[in-house]
Amino acid sequence: MNQLDQLRQFTTVVADTGNFNQMAAFAPRDATTNPSLILKAVQQPDYAPLLAETARSHRGAALDEIVDRTLVRFGLEILKVVPGRVSTEVDARLSFYAPATLARARRLIGLYEAEGVARERVLIKIAATWEGIQAARELEREGIRCNLTLLFAFAQAVACGEAGVRLISPFVGRIYDWYKKAAGPSWDESASAGVNDPGVRSVSHIYRYYKQFGIATEVMGASFRNVGQITALAGCDLLTISPELLAQLQDSDAPLSRVLDPQARDSAMAPVHHSEASFRYALNEDAMATEKLAEGIRAFAVDTDKLDALILAL
């Protein structure tokens, strides 16, 4: 078997793209999108008509509604390709306002349901700020499943587990990027690869913690820079992978073994709980997570602004 097929023995493979024409070749179970991926897609000739058609069909509607309808339109096409779930993201500019996040999440689910899609096939992506996590807590009570994204800190994972969210997306590559940049010339690539990669270590720790304490939230490693980061997380509940890296896995016949074991236990690991104050302090103490969370929200907000501009220009 190629590495992609080997990986499927331990882990659910998810496609990280808005390019629904491309993903079928890799037969993922689920797919994830974000504002940057959708923006990239709608600027391609194959997908630009989809944006124009959605905007024309809802001319006169509020801009934010047209954006949501565009996201759902992509989600509907993706669900024709994958048998499982699609993740659709709430506007990142609402990351610190729970009431608006709730309203947008409910609208997204309503748009899917109006098209005959059961809510079990949709994950609402929300940035893992304190406000986003509390919004997800309420949505989960309503049967709206959530994917908490831009997750860099263990404190974020703890709070998500306590909120009962369905799935988290801890980022691997962006953590790796931060530590590599911080180390500068002293960075040793070979010593920081595989299971020693700082992003891999972060996801592995979260996975072990969840399994040890019976937390049902699914762990989906995300944001990969190379195949080595993926193979070092074989056994994680899910991994969301770009088409480029999926192709590399598919083209390799190198042996791949399970790394993460759900039955493994660590006697030194203790349960952790967070109030709002302790969450904010723990996040503040983690320079990497603080910087990457803020950077991620800003980047998604910029791309949402660009998507707004494209719609207004039609």
SS (H, E, C) the chain: CCHHHHHHCCCEEEEECCCHHHHHHHCCCEEECCHHHHHHHHCCCCCHHHHHHHHHHCCCCCHHHHHHHHHHHHHHHHHCCCCCCEEEECCHHHCCCHHHHHHHHHHHHHHHHHCCCCHHHEEEEEECCHHHHHHHHHHHHCCCCEEEEEECCHHHHHHHHHHCCCEEEEECHHHHHHHHHHHHHHCCCCCCCHHHCHHHHHHHHHHHHHHHCCCCCEEEEECCCCHHHHHCCCCCCEEEECHHHHHHHHCCCCCCCCCCCCCCCCCCCCCCCCCHHHHHHHHHHCHHHHHHHHHHHHHHHHHHHHHHHHHHHC
* CA dist 157 → 133, 136, 237, 273, 274 (Å): 10, 13, 15, 11, 10
Residue 241: its pLDDT value, please? 98
Give pLDDT, residue 288: 98
**pLDDT at 166 (0 to 100):** 98
Domain assignments of the chain as residue spans, ordered by start: 3-313
Q: Is the dihedral of CA 220, 223, 229, 230 positive or negative?
A: positive
| Whole-number Å distance between alpha carbons of 115 and 113 | 5
In which band, very low, low, confident or very high, does the pLDDT at 146 lie, cut at 50, 70 and 90?
Answer: very high
pLDDT value of residue 76: 97
Question: CA 122 to CA 143: how far, in whole Å?
Answer: 11
Provide mean pLDDT across the span 160-188: 98
The whole-number pLDDT of residue 81 equals: 95
Catalytic residue, chosen from 125, 180, 292, 306, is: 125
Read off the pLDDT of residues 200-216 as tens digits, 9 standing for 90 and up. 999 999 999 999 999 99
pLDDT of residue 122: 98
The CA-to-CA distance between both ends of the chain, in Å, stands at: 47
Task: Tell me the pTM.
Answer: 0.97
What is the Cα–Cα distance from 264 to 261, expressed in whole angstroms? 5
Cβ–Cβ < 8 Å for 22, 272: no
Q: Is 292 annotated as catalytic? A: no
310 — pLDDT class (breaks 50, 70, 90): very high
The predicted pLDDT at position 229 comes to 98
Per-residue pLDDT, averaged over 97-121, amounts to 98
pLDDT of residue 95: 98
Q: Given this model, what pLDDT does residue 16 score?
A: 96
Per-residue pLDDT of 226-248, as tens digits, reads 999 999 999 999 999 999 999 99
Please count the other Cβ atoms lying within 10 Å of the Cβ belonging to residue 25: 13
pLDDT for 205 equals: 98
Residue 14 · residue 238 · CB < 8 Å: yes
pLDDT value at residue 306:
97
pLDDT for 267-305, tens place per residue?
999 999 999 999 999 999 999 999 999 999 999 999 999
Distance of alpha carbon 125 from alpha carbon 146, whole angstroms = 6
| Fold (topology level) of 3-313 | TIM Barrel (3.20.20)
> Across residues 21-26, what is the average pLDDT?
92
**Amino acid present at 291:** E
Do the beta carbons of residue 122 and residue 75 sit within 8 Å?
yes
